Structure 1
Amino acid sequence: MFSEHAFFSFIDLTDPSVHREYNEWHQLDHRPENLLLPGVAWGDRWARPAEYSALDRSSAQELTDVDYVAMYWFRPPYEQSVAEWSKLGEDSFQWGRGPQLPGVKRPLLGFFTPVKGYAAPRIGVSAEALPFRPNRGLHLTVTHFADPHGADVHEQFRWDDRIGIPALLECPGVAGAWTFSLHSMQKHPSLPLGAGNREFAPGAVRIRMLYLDADPAEVTRAVVELEQDLNSRGAGGPRPVVGETLFDGPLRTIIPWQDW
């Protein structure tokens, strides 16, 4: 595995007037400086336009207003890589180039352990190369488990690995997938968690990321139809319904300047 840990940031901009300023800061300042760090293998970000909200199947409220998702992959040694990355965050604040913009909420910030990667046979590259392959967006599912090591959770992971994800890899527009398990919440001093944010225990949050190389909204509709068909046919047994869905919908790759 090329990366031991990844970081996910879910962003809600409550002030519509700062979208351009936030995008300019993130893609022209923050992301380039992060990618320069030797411990950062890759970093990317995606947008959730308003028209995608109707495609979200989440059952909880925490992430329903998310506008952007960013992630970074870290190279080993994890502790050193994250320490250098965190230092850059503090340095940026001291330089006056930090992310302290009005109307920015961060409902979920966390470090995640990559569980397993999958590449669709048609794309010809490995799962490890998938993050570096251009994409048009994601279908992202974030699930919270009250009992992350329960027998029903284990059965869901088995179903996803052996039945659900392999079937999705045959879906047009799905280039591959990665799954992640929460390692720890981020508590960087320059980014305090806001009032009302939930704390999650290690392992209690699972992310399934589908990399897409076709229109994210269209692929999401196909994914939903396929999953419903799998359940109705009982292929390998229906998918266990476990956990609380925090987010389940498409995201679009951001094109600088065009999408600002």
Structure 2
Amino acid sequence: MFSELAFFSFIQLTDPSFHRAYNEWHQLDHLPENLALEGVAAGQRWRHLDEYRSLTTGEAEFTDANYVAMYWFRPPVEQSVEAWDALGEASFQWGRGPLIPAVKRPLLGFFKPVKGYAAPRALVNPDVLPFRANQGVYLTLTSTDEPHGMDTHTAYTREDRELIPALLDVDGVAGAWTFSFSHVQQHKTLPFAGPAERKQGSLRVRLVYLEDYPAVVTPKLQEIERELDILAPTQQVLFAGAIKTIIPWQDWD
């Protein structure tokens, strides 16, 4: 596995007039600076479009998000995250964020990659998916109060052996990755912190990489999820929906 740790951030803009300024900052400043770090293997950000909200389920705290960002870290992850944190502090001292107006972050958390899956049509190893062009992803974020309960274990067995193979058969799906929650972000110098501390494994992320328009593929994926119904009784869906790859200069407003 090329990465031992990933980071997810859900972002909500409290003032819609800041979309372009936020997108310009993230795409032309923040993201390139982070990707230039030796310890950052990959990173991307997607937009939760208003027209996708009818295809989204979950809790308002997360479904109200406008963007989701993620990064993959190379080992040794302690040094990689330390350099990443240091860049955040340096950027603040330069007057270039990451504290910027109108931005609310309901989730700032580190996750351990669990397993990657590539659809045969993609012709690549799962490790390649984060570097491969995509139209967007179908993201599912769930929580559980029993991260190591038997029902949770059964749900993960069915996810691996039933659900994800069925999702990979859908046209427009390139592959998938699953992630298990490790810890919230506690920045050493900046006032960034995730929500109240959670148990390890209490959050689960599933990313389904799409090579067709998310609005076209998502209903097919959701139908499979409903038919298989793998969620454990203790699991709660916080966010399940499509988020679109951002095209610089075209869809920033």
Q: What TM-score do you get using the length of structure 2 for normalisation?
A: 0.95
Q: 1:211 to 1:241 in 2, by over 3 A?
A: farther
Counterpart-to-counterpart distance in 2, 1:185 and 1:228: 30
In the alignment, the residues of structure 2 paired with residue 239 and residue 202 of structure 1 have an alpha-carbon distance, to the nearest angstrom, of 18
2:246 and 2:25 map into 1 onto residues whose CA distance is: 14
Which digits, 9 at most, give the CA deviation of each residue in 1:227-257, with x for residues without a partner?
23345xxxxxx65444111100000000011
Q: Partners in 2 of 1:48 and 1:192 — Cα distance?
A: 22
Displacement of 1:114 in angstroms is 0.1
The separation in 2 between residues aligned to 1:198 and 1:141, in whole angstroms, is: 20
Tell me the residue number matched to 1:255: 247
Aligned equivalents of 1:35, 1:199: Cα separation in 2 = 28
- Matches of 1:48 and 1:75, distance apart in 2: 27
Match of 2:216, as an amino acid? E
Equivalent runs, 1:213-224 vs 2, <5 Å: 213-224=211-222
Gaps of 5+ in 2: none
Residue 97 of structure 1 aligns to a residue in which SS? coil
**AA at the equivalent of 1:13:** L
Q: Is this contact kept in 1: 2:145–2:234, CA < 8 A?
A: no
Paired position in structure 1 for 2:149: 150
Q: Which residue of 1 aligns with 2:207?
A: 209
- 1:66 matched to 2:65? The reply is yes
Structure 1: segments with no counterpart, 5+ residues: 232-237
Q: Which amino acid aligns with 1:122?
A: R
Query: Residues 98, 8 of structure 1: CA spacing in aligned structure 2 closer, same or farther, 3 A cutoff?
Result: same
Q: Is contact 2:183-2:197 (8 Å) kept?
A: no
- Give a deviation string over 1:156-197, Cα, whole Å, max 9, x none: 000000010011100111110000001110021324348xx4
Does 1:111 find its partner at 2:110? yes
Aligned to 1:62, the other structure's residue is in SS state: helix
Residues 6 and 71 in structure 1, CA contact (< 8 A), matched pair in contact too: yes
Which of residues 226, 229, 238 in structure 1 aligns to 2:227? 229
Distance 2:99 2:39 in 1: 24
Q: Deviations over 1:37-67 (max 9, x none)?
A: 1101011110001111111121x23202100
Paired residues, number: 251
SS at match of 2:177: strand
Distance (whole Å) between structure 1 residues aligned to residue 198 and residue 218 of structure 2? 27
Distance in 2 of aligned mates of 1:191 and 1:74: 22
Letter in 2 for 1:80: Q
Which residue in 2 is equivalent to 1:177? Answer: 176
**Could you give the per-residue CA deviations for residues 60-101 of structure 1, whole angstroms, max 9, x where no partner exists?**
232021000011111111101110011000110111111222
Native 8 Å contact 1:156 1:242 kept in 2 = no
Q: How does 1:6-45 map to 2 (within 5 A)?
A: 6-45=6-45
How many Å separate the matches in 2 of 1:229 and 1:183? 30
